[in-house]
Chains A and B, each alone.
Chain A
Amino acid sequence: MIWIYAVGERPDLPLPAIAGLGGTVLESIPHGPLLAVASRHARSGFAPEADALWAHEQVVEAVMDQRAVVPMRFGTRVGDDAAAHAVLDAEREHLLEVLERVRGRVEFALRARRPSPAPAGSGRDHVRTLLGEARAAAALHDPLAAVAVEARRSDVRRAGELLRAAYLVDACDVAHFRRSVRLLEREHSDVALVCTGPWPAYSFVNV
C-alpha cells in the first residue's frame, strides 16, 4: 500500500528529512509538474489514532514549509505506483487549480463557546436566544473573514458552541489575523475563543 500525505508542486525539490508513518522513509512520486509525498507499507492502513494523525500532519507541515501543497485526507492510499500515477493524472487539473488557490496561504481554525449557555426557557425565549447567538457568532466571524482570503463556517457541534470556522489567510496577513483574534477576545470576554494554526489548507481544498 502507498500512503499519500500531500500533493505538491516542485517535484525537483528534495523532500524534507522527516520520517513518515511508522518511521518509514518518505518518497516522492513525481508526475509532470506535481509530486505525491508518500510512504510504502506492507499493512493495508493506519487507524486514526492521535500518534498517526500527528505523524501525517508533521509530514504535510514539513512539505508545506518548502512549497505549495494540497493536503490529503487521512487515510488516502493507493495500491501501487501505477494507481498513484493514475489518480494524479485523473485529478491533475483540479490539483493544479487548488495549488494555485492555497499557495502562500495558511489555514486557521476558530471555535467559540459560551462557558455558561443560557438556560432553556419558553419558546419565545428560545427564539430570542438563537437570534442572539447568531448575532454573536457573526460578530466574531465577520471581522476575521474580512482579514482572510476565504472563510468557511461549519455546524456547531456542542451545547454553548457559537462558532466553528476556518480561515484561509495570506502569509503576509497572519500577524494581522492573530491581532484580530486577540482583539475579539478582549471585546467578547463572555466567550471562550480557541484559535489554532497555521494549518495546511485542509478546509479549502474541496471546492
Chain B
Amino acid sequence: MSADDVALVDLLDRLLAGGVVLGGDVRISLADVDLLDLRLRLLLRGVT
C-alpha cells in the first residue's frame, strides 16, 4: 500500500463515520463505511 492508500483507510473512517451532520441529510451509514472499506481493500489487492 502506498502512503496515500494507507491514509485513505483513515480518511474513510473520518469523513464517513466522523464529522458533524447538519440538517440530517446525510445518507451514508456505518454499513456503507464497511462496504467502502472492503471495496478499498479489494481494490488495493487488485481483485476488482
Total number of residue pairs linking A and B with CB closer than 8 Å: 101
Within 8 A of A (CB), among B19-46: 19-23, 25-28, 32, 34, 36-37
Known: A50-B8, A53-B11, A194-B6. A71 touches B22 (CB 8 A): no
**Inter-subunit contact B20/A74 (CB<8 Å):** no
**Inter-subunit contact B11/A57 (CB<8 Å):** yes
Q: Which residue of B lies closest to A152 (CB)?
A: B18
In angstroms, Cα B3 to Cα A197, docked, is 12
Pick out which of these stretches binds chain B: A121-129, A130-138, A171-179, A199-207. A199-207
The A interface is mostly helix, strand or loop, or mixed, namely mixed
Q: Which residue of B lies closest to A70 (CB)?
A: B20
How many chain B residues touch A (Cβ–Cβ < 8 Å)?
26
Q: Which residue of B lies closest to A75 (CB)?
A: B26
Known: A73-B19, A196-B6, A202-B19. A54 touches B11 (CB 8 A): yes
**Inter-subunit contact B21/A73 (CB<8 Å):** yes
Q: Which residue of B lies closest to A50 (CB)?
A: B8
Q: Which residue of A lies closest to B9 (CB)?
A: A111
Which A residues are in CB contact (< 8 Å) with B11?
53-54, 57
Residue A21 is within 8 A (CB to CB) of chain B in the complex: no
Which A residues are in CB contact (< 8 Å) with B36?
48
**Inter-subunit contact B16/A48 (CB<8 Å):** yes
Q: Which residue of B lies closest to A108 (CB)?
A: B10
**Inter-subunit contact B27/A72 (CB<8 Å):** no
Contact partner, B20, options A73, A83, A111, Cβ 8 Å = A73
- Extra pairs beyond A48-B12, A53-B11, A196-B6 (19, CB < 8 Å): A7-B20, A45-B27, A48-B32, A53-B8, A71-B19, A73-B21, A75-B26, A75-B27, A76-B20, A76-B22, A76-B25, A77-B23, A83-B23, A87-B22, A109-B13, A166-B18, A202-B19, A203-B13, A206-B18
**7 smallest beta-carbon distances between A and B, as pairs:** A202-B18, A73-B19, A202-B14, A74-B15, A109-B10, A75-B26, A87-B23
